[in-house]
């Protein structure tokens, strides 16, 4: 018979067993993972283009991803080498590489994946898309992801081409690629398209892929190219894909892994593109380590002086790939004292030129020593032989050498004491002996000690890292400062305040998953850095790469000039800049001839560089005259900042006979002046996008040779590419014979208008704009007081000669509505025709029957705003009260030009009721009972209202009869609508609320939100609940186990 104790033990064991079984059933049976999928264009990576040290800096990034698609792979061997480096680090990756694709530039694409979480499916096997139309066809692979359905990745490197339209052709074919991949993937599987698309995700070229229901994960203003220039790389995912919320990430390694002045090296050693990634839920459970947020920045502006104990844990002898990472850390500094490297590692680091950094070093010749100084000879010079100081308090005798930089000279001593206790008096002795041996009074001590260094100070000897520095540790996973720099408080006055930092390479350079050991591969210690003013007024630690070309002159003989503009509010150091030239496509930017600039460029000012034999008018505007500025229209000219081309005229490696086309004008870079349009506020290295295909989408205005605007430029700071203003109107309407159809738009405003924010909408045969129209998407930038003509491609030559856009979709008759709208669902700005039942032939205008058929309508120059859909009032009853002049059929002499009388807006003030509708709410605005049109410069609105977008709008915060604002949420008057298209709304059966700073609120809930364009993951809540249940069960099991143990 069992005793009570035995019975209790037995019951506890049974309970524990049941607990474990339940926990396994509920939690273990639903094993899954959260995986990170990546995509990266590794610029021209081949086995001949990268050393193992350089591949180490690439492999540490690939290790961030469970599955990664790679573009611009030139051979399979380099992927095999990456696999071997990862294997040496204990990470098991497999790979597959495509066949060579491309005609002009041949390359391969590849996938690499971790075998513990991803497996390649053999059905279907990886394949190159067989469809036509691609320079480099997409490469697709299907993968089995732990606990999830099949997932197919199709990756592509879209052609860059001579213009954006070439790229759009390939983008338009991606929906075929998607449908083909879906047909090959098992039911319930997912298909993603990723890669380098050479196109912003908001371009019109994505329309067909969006129509398939796919969305991008990376949205503006994020940039994916090194130096934050362009957004070209992306993942496109379908509805239903288990995308984790807030998981889209761009790893800006150029900021996190490299010093600030190294963009040229970054592009060569690693890539000119940043890797992108997304997180996905595979099965249930699991976790995803958080990625780095935006780069926090680093204090700059002085000589970067550092100390680093670089010994790896467990005395690990580093491979060449790991030494590449170590060299990358050293390259952050102008001068660094290093302790802890083995003699072999020091010898191998002589080859740091593989990373393109001109680092010299001097080491103690004692073979047992591990002390050395690394420095950039361009800013730091050693002035005498190195020497040692005898001291039994250190592992080896302190190693010292005299140096100079700018106006300052000092002796540096390198110290290492991994055990024992070093006192202040020992440090003072080293300082005194070093000062005596070098005959320099200024001595800096750099070192690593086995215990805290913060307290080692007295009245004269001061540690850089002290209790006031804000640094609590220089040791990974410990809170202790073992590394420091000491200086004489009285003799050294060039330490810059607030410049003391450590480099957290364990967080910035290594995957957040913790799968790689930064202490084993690099060190247990973090480098300590301080910035010092070396007295050289031209020494600046960080380049500012925001300057751009604002004018280009290629005239007769030596009449050559380049104007550079500073759009910022700060003075920019020109010493980081150069002008490069490629003669007729004979080489690349990397091998181009160039000359450097000097000086500083003040905010909102120009810097003009001219040929020293140019004409007198050009020379009069010069800031720099040089015989080095010589080019013809077929020579590419680049603006280089920090070693990389950030802005250009023309393309390197592209031979041209007569120059490049700009704004649709052939040969515009020869015998012309180009002036940058004033909405451009920064550099752009995409020449095809910059040059454009017409005068609306080009960033340049093309002017005749001899035109001079040198020495003056401005940027319209009010221009917002994402904002749709209300200053556009229809200024001319052509409904002529056959296909002679054209609509002219005019920008009444004072700022450029981004036409991508607008649509022409056609209602054929009666109906409403909102429900029955087809849309024509516009594109380009329309300058103030300029026109944009949309025409049918079969119109007559007079019409086509002034057309900015030709489209076969512009098909209408006199009884069809033509409306100008903000986007697809926004306000009607202007309209020809009235909604409802269409007339048999056309509408009357200015007393002319059926004037919208077989006539041309020209807007009067007194019209200062659109009719917002009220065509009856706009058409008028006679020539006097109509806004239009009616001309005979096919009369188009006015097309392509329009004028507006200054101040004419007041001539057209009319009282009209006005109801503004948007996807979230309907708002009735009623100052004194009805809306009123107005002019921004002369107002004329009733009390308690303000002129906004040519309409009187009530001021918030006012109440009473003068300005009464009411709204109902949703799209209907009963308040039952809710939210549409994202954003937030709240509803309570049509409850009346107030409007404050543009946000509608009322009693109720129902908030829908998006983050970065990625819908919130509905599974997160269920995962959290499941995880909580599993945790509770596990806790119960542990409690039972403890109870059993106590018995």
Structure tokens at 992: 């009346």
Please check the confidence at residue 490 and state whether its pLDDT lies above 60. Answer: no
What confidence tier does 940 reach under pLDDT thresholds 50, 70, 90?
low
Could you read off the pLDDT of 963-1011 as tens digits, one per residue?
333 222 222 222 233 322 333 323 223 222 222 222 222 223 332 222 2
**pLDDT at residue 377, rounded to an integer:** 83
Give CA–CA dist 549/163, Å, rounded.
Answer: 19
Structure tokens at 191: 């298909």
Which whole-number Å values give the CA distances from 108 to 72, 97, 366, in the listed order? 6, 7, 49
**pLDDT at residue 1035, rounded to an integer:** 53
Please check the confidence at residue 123 and state whether its pLDDT lies above 60. Answer: yes
Mean pLDDT of the region 131-150:
88
Please check the confidence at residue 606 and state whether its pLDDT lies above 80. Answer: yes
Mean pLDDT of the region 156-166:
87
**pLDDT at residue 1042, rounded to an integer:** 47
Give CA–CA dist 22/1037, Å, rounded.
Answer: 10
Mean pLDDT of the region 847-873:
93
Closest CA to 202 of 176, 168, 243, 227: 168
Phi and psi at 351, nearest 5°, equal: -90, 30
Could you read off the pLDDT of 561-582 as tens digits, one per residue?
999 999 998 888 898 899 999 9
Task: Reduce the DSSP state of residue 467 to 3 states and report it.
Answer: coil
Whether 525 and 306 have beta carbons less than 8 Å apart is answered as no
Phi and psi at 927, nearest 5°, equal: -70, 120
Task: Reduce the DSSP state of residue 62 to 3 states and report it.
Answer: helix
Peptide bond into 476 cis (omega under 30): no
Which whole-number Å values give the CA distances from 826 to 96, 238, 830, 868, 917, in the listed order? 47, 26, 12, 11, 8
Give CA 50 to chain center in angstroms. Answer: 26
**pLDDT at residue 544, rounded to an integer:** 84
**pLDDT at residue 467, rounded to an integer:** 65
Task: Reduce the DSSP state of residue 718 to 3 states and report it.
Answer: coil
Whether 243 and 1017 have beta carbons less than 8 Å apart is answered as yes
What confidence tier does 889 reach under pLDDT thresholds 50, 70, 90?
very high
- Mention every residue, 6+ apart, whose C-beta is less than 8 A from residue 875: 843, 844, 845, 846, 851, 882, 883, 884
Could you read off the pLDDT of 587-600 as tens digits, one per residue?
788 778 899 998 88
Please check the confidence at residue 187 and state whether its pLDDT lies above 80. Answer: no
Which position has the higher pLDDT, 450 or 287?
Answer: 450
DSSP 657-686: SS---BTTBTTTTSSEEEEE-TT--S----
Whether 32 and 281 have beta carbons less than 8 Å apart is answered as yes
Please check the confidence at residue 191 and state whether its pLDDT lies above 70. Answer: yes
Query: pLDDT exceeding 70 applies to what percent of the chain?
Result: 77
Peptide bond into 221 cis (omega under 30): yes
**pLDDT at residue 1002, rounded to an integer:** 28
Mean pLDDT of the region 532-545:
63
**Gap between the terminal Cα atoms of the chain:** 19
**pLDDT at residue 845, rounded to an integer:** 97
Give CA–CA dist 649/845, Å, rounded.
Answer: 49
Structure tokens at 232: 């070209």
Please check the confidence at residue 955 and state whether its pLDDT lies above 60. Answer: no
What confidence tier does 367 reach under pLDDT thresholds 50, 70, 90?
low
**pLDDT at residue 643, rounded to an integer:** 83
Which has the minimum average pLDDT: 24-38, 150-164, 427-441? 24-38
Peptide bond into 780 cis (omega under 30): no
Could you read off the pLDDT of 768-789 as tens digits, one per residue?
998 889 999 999 999 999 999 9
**pLDDT at residue 30, rounded to an integer:** 38
What confidence tier does 585 reach under pLDDT thresholds 50, 70, 90?
confident
**pLDDT at residue 980, rounded to an integer:** 29
Please check the confidence at residue 859 and state whether its pLDDT lies above 60. Answer: yes
**Residues paired with 35 in a beta bridge:** 280
Could you read off the pLDDT of 608-618 as tens digits, one per residue?
999 999 999 99
319 CB neighbour count, 10 Å cutoff: 17
Structure tokens at 714: 């401005």
Mean pLDDT of the region 799-823:
95
Mean pLDDT of the region 361-380:
75
**pLDDT at residue 946, rounded to an integer:** 63
Q: Which residue has the tokens 């019951």?
A: 11
Please check the confidence at residue 909 and state whether its pLDDT lies above 60. Answer: no
Whether 105 and 133 have beta carbons less than 8 Å apart is answered as no
pTM value is 0.68
**pLDDT at residue 161, rounded to an integer:** 79
Mean pLDDT of the region 355-370:
61
Structure tokens at 326: 């170590």
893 CB neighbour count, 10 Å cutoff: 10
What is the average pLDDT score of the chain? Answer: 80
Which position has the higher pLDDT, 1031 or 962?
Answer: 1031
Sheet holding 371-375, edge to edge: 360-363, 371-375, 335-339, 303-309, 528-532, 501-502
Rounding to the nearest 10 degrees, give the CA dihedral for residues 259, 264, 267, 273: 80
Whether 51 and 320 have beta carbons less than 8 Å apart is answered as yes
- Mention every residue, 6+ apart, whose C-beta is less than 8 A from residue 268: 43, 356, 590
């Amino acid at each position: 018979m069992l005793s009570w104790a035995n019975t209790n033990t037995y019951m506890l064991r049974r309970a524990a067993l049941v607990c474990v079984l339940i926990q396994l059933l509920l939690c273990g049976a639903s094993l899954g993972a959260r995986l990170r999928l990546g995509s990266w264009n590794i610029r021209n990576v081949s086995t001949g283009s990268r050393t193992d040290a350089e591949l180490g800096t690439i492999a540490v990034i690939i290790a961030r991803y469970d599955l990664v698609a790679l573009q611009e792979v030139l051979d399979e061997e380099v992927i095999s080498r990456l696999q071997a480096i990862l294997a040496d680090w204990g990470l098991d990756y497999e790979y597959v590489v495509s066949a060579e694709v491309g005609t002009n530039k041949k390359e391969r694409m590849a996938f690499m994946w971790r075998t513990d979480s991803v497996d390649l499916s053999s059905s279907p096997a990886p394949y190159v898309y067989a469809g036509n139309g691609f320079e480099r066809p997409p490469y697709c692979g299907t993968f089995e992801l732990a606990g999830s359905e099949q997932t197919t990745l199709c990756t592509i490197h879209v052609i860059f081409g001579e213009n954006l339209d070439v790229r759009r052709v390939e983008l338009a074919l991606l929906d075929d690629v998607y449908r083909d991949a879906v047909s090959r993937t098992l039911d319930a599987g997912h298909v993603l398209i990723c890669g380098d698309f050479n196109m912003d995700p908001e371009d019109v070229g994505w329309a067909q892929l969006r129509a398939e229901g796919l969305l991008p994960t990376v949205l503006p203003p994020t940039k994916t190219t090194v130096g934050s220039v362009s957004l070209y790389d992306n993942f496109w995912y379908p509805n239903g894909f288990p995308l984790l919320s807030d998981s889209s990430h761009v790893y800006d390694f150029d900021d996190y892994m490299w010093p600030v002045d190294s963009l040229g090296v970054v592009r060569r050693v690693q890539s000119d593109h940043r890797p992108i990634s997304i997180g996905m839920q595979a099965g249930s459970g699991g976790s995803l380590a958080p990625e780095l947020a935006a780069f926090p920045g680093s204090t700059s502006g002085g000589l970067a002086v550092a100390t680093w104990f670089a010994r790896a844990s467990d005395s690990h002898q580093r491979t060449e790939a790991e030494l590449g990472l170590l060299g990358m850390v050293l390259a952050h500094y102008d001068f660094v004292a290093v302790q802890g490297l083995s003699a072999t590692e020091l010898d191998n680091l002589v080859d740091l030129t593989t990373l393109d950094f001109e680092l010299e070093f001097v080491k103690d010749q004692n073979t047992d020593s591990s002390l050395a100084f690394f420095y950039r000879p361009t800013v730091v010079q050693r002035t005498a032989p190195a020497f040692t100081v005898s001291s039994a308090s250190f592992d080896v005798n302190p190693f010292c050498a005299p140096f100079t930089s700018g106006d300052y000279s000092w002796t540096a001593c390198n110290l290492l004491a991994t055990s024992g206790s070093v006192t202040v008096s020992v440090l003072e002795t080293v300082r005194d002996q070093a000062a005596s041996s070098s005959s320099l009074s200024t001595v800096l001590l750099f070192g690593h000690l086995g215990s805290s260094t913060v307290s080692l100070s007295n009245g004269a000897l001061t540690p850089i890292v002290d209790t006031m520095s804000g640094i609590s540790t220089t040791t990974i996973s410990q809170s202790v400062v073992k590394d420091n720099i000491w200086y004489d408080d009285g003799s050294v006055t060039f330490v810059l305040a607030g410049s003391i930092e450590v480099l957290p390479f364990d967080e910035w350079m290594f995957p957040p998953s913790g799968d790689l050991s930064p202490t084993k591969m690099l060190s247990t210690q973090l480098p300590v850095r301080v910035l010092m003013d070396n007295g050289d007024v031209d020494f600046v630690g960080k380049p500012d790469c925001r300057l751009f070309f604002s004018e280009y002159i290629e005239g007769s003989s030596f009449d050559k000039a380049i104007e550079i503009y500073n759009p910022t509010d700060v003075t920019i150091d020109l010493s980081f800049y150069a002008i490069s030239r490629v003669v007729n496509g004979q080489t690349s930017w990397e091998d181009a001839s160039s000359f450097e600039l000097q000086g500083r460029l003040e905010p909102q000012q120009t810097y003009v560089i001219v040929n020293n034999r140019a004409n007198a008018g050009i020379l009069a505007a010069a800031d720099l005259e040089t015989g080095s500025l010589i080019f013809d229209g077929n020579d590419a000219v680049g603006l280089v900042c920090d070693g990389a081309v950030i802005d250009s005229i023309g393309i390197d490696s592209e031979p041209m006979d007569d120059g490049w086309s700009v704004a649709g004008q052939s040969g515009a870079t020869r015998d012309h002046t180009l002036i940058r349009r004033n909405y451009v506020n920064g550099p752009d290295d995409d020449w095809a996008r910059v040059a454009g295909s017409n005068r609306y989408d080009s960033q340049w205005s093309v002017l005749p040779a001899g035109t001079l605007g040198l020495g003056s430029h401005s940027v319209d700071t009010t221009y917002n590419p994402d904002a749709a203003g209300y200053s556009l109107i229809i200024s001319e309407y052509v409904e002529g014979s056959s296909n002679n159809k054209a609509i002219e738009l005019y920008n009444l405003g004072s700022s450029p208008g981004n036409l991508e924010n607008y649509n022409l909408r056609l209602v054929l045969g009666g109906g409403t704009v909102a429900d029955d129209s087809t849309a024509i998407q516009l594109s380009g930038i329309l300058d103030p007081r300029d026109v944009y003509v949309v025409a049918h491609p079969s119109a007559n030559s007079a019409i086509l000669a002034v057309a900015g856009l030709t489209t076969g979709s512009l098909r209408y008759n006199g009884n069809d509505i033509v409306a100008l709208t903000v986007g697809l669902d926004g306000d009607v700005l202007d309209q020809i025709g009235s909604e409802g039942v269409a007339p048999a032939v056309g509408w009357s205008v200015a007393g002319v029957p059926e004037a919208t058929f077989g006539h041309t309508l020209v807007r009067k120059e007194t019209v200062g705003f659109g009719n917002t859909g009220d065509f009856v009032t706009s058409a008028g009853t006679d020539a006097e009260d109509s806004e239009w002049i009616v001309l005979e059929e096919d009369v188009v002499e006015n097309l392509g030009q329009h004028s507006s009388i200054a101040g004419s807006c007041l001539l057209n003030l009319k009282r009209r009721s006005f109801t503004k509708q948007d996807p979230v709410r309907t708002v009735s605005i009623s100052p004194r009972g009805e809306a009123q049109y107005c002019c921004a410069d002369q107002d004329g609105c009733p009390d308690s209202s303000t002129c906004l977008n040519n309409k009187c709008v009530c001021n918030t915060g006012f109440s009473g009869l003068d300005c009464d604002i009411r709204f109902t949420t949703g799209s209907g008057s009963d308040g039952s609508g809710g939210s549409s298209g994202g954003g937030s709304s709240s509803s309570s059966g049509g409850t009346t609320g107030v409007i404050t700073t543009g946000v509608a609120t009322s009693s109720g809930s129902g908030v829908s939100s998006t983050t970065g364009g990625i819908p919130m993951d509905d599974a997160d809540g269920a995962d959290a609940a499941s995880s909580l249940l599993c945790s509770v069960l596990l806790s119960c099991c542990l409690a039972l186990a403890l109870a059993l143990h106590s018995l």
